[in-house]
Structure formats: C-alpha cells, structure tokens
A and B are shown apart, each in its own frame.
Chain A
Amino acid sequence: DVKVTQSSRYLVKRTGEKVFLECVQDMDHENMFWYRQDPGLGLRLIYFSYDVKMKEKGDIPEGYSVSREKKERFSLILESASTNQTSMYLCASRITGSSGANVLTFGAGSRLTVL
C-alpha cells in the first residue's frame, strides 16, 4: 500500500514564526497536494505539484508556499504564521496514467495551532 507520511502530527507555533510541514510518499507518485481542513468548510486545496519542481496554486494559496525538490517529498511553508492559519493540514498524493488516477492517498494530517 502507498504510504503518505506527515512528519509532525501536532505543532504549536507563535505568530510570525516560519513553519515547515513535511510530507513524504513512498510509491513514486507524480502528483502531490496540500489541503487544509476546517470544520464546516471541508477540505480546501492550498497548492499542488504535478512533478518535481512544478507547483500550482490551489484555491487558497495566500500566506503559503511549497517546495518539491524531490519526487517523494512535498513541503508546505508558512512564511509568517498567523492565527487564522490554525488548522488541520492534510497531504495527499496520486499516480497518473491509470484507471485509479483520480484516487488520492492521504496522510494522517498535521494539526497546527498558531498562538
């Protein structure tokens, strides 16, 4: 089974800090995604990457950036954390070019609290 690992399950940061959320997948998937999950809003796409060094903005990219230097790793960066970025962050990946291409595999999530 594909595994998507998010290194930090719980983080507490202060306003203005730079925050890195790391995600690693082990099955050579081309596409990777970062979503944030908030009660009553479901999941909203922040950024996605369709290949190494490639990235595209999602629906809510403001205040975030991403890095994909290696195929297996997709990092979400909060340059200057703010309290409205307190949320659950979910990473996902998927393979392209197969009948199951639209199925995402998710990590367990990183719950970030910004004080």
Chain B
Amino acid sequence: GNSVTQMEGPVTLSEEAFLTINCTYTATGYPSLFWYVQYPGEGLQLLLKATKADDKGSNKGFEATYRKETTSFHLEKGSVQVSDSAVYFCALVTDSWGKLQFGAGTQVVVTP
C-alpha cells in the first residue's frame, strides 16, 4: 500500500536559518505529492504540490522537488521566519477520488 514517511520533530530553528524537512514515499502508480501546513489552531492548508517527476513546487519561499529515483519530496526554505512555526505534512494521492495519504507531520518551531 501507499505510505509517507517524514522526519520526526520538533525541529527547532533560529530565525533566518535554513529549513529542510525530509519526506519519502512508497506508492503504486504515479502519485501526486503535496506539502500541507497547519498553523496553530487552524486546519490544514496547501503549501505546494507537484504532479510528476522532476516537477518543483514552490510557495511562500518554500520549495520541494519530486524525485522519482529516490522517491522523495523534501521541503526546503532558505530563511525561516517566526511566522513559519507550524506543523508540516507531506502527502500523496494516487487515486481519482483525491484520497490523500499523509505522513505523521513535522512540527517546526522558529525562535527569534
């Protein structure tokens, strides 16, 4: 079956530090890949996505590249802000109903 593995948190960083959150997946077929973000007290919202190999998704300074050869979709940001403190979820979908399979989530804490 499909699965998503992402690095455990919490990840604690200082403002302006470089952020990487690793995500690897196992899937049948050709999944679309997503990063969702959950800010404190809120639901999840889409951060970025990639639908095929070598696609790069980007938004709000975050980037992730769909690497089929390593089955990975690592999230990166060059300079984090306190407002980036949140829980980040890697996810994939393979079926036509859009049923997302999520990783466990990685909490990121950015300190001033």
Contacts and interface: CB of A to CB of B under 8 A. Distances in A.
Given A41-B104, A42-B103, A103-B49, A31 B42 contact: no
B112 interface: no
Interface stretch (A14-22, A63-71, A106-114): A106-114
A43 interface: yes
A103 B100 CA distance: 9
A94 B49 CA distance: 15
B47 to A, nearest CB: 11
A104 B99 CA distance: 9
Contacts, number: 56
Interface residues of A, number: 26
A104 B103 CA distance: 16
A-side interface mostly: strand
Counting contact residues on chain B (CB < 8 A from A), the size range is 20 to 34
A43 B99 contact: no
Given A40-B104, A43-B89, A103-B49, A4 B98 contact: no
Nearest to A95: B98
A102 B93 contact: yes
Interface string A91-107: 01010100001111011
A43 B104 CA distance: 7
Contact of B43 (A31, A42, A90): A90
A33 interface: yes
A60 B11 CA distance: 29
A94 B98 CA distance: 8
21 contacts: A40-B104, A42-B4, A42-B89, A42-B105, A43-B89, A44-B102, A45-B99, A56-B97, A90-B43, A96-B98, A101-B98, A102-B49, A102-B51, A102-B93, A103-B34, A104-B100, A106-B36, A106-B43, A106-B45, A108-B42, A108-B43
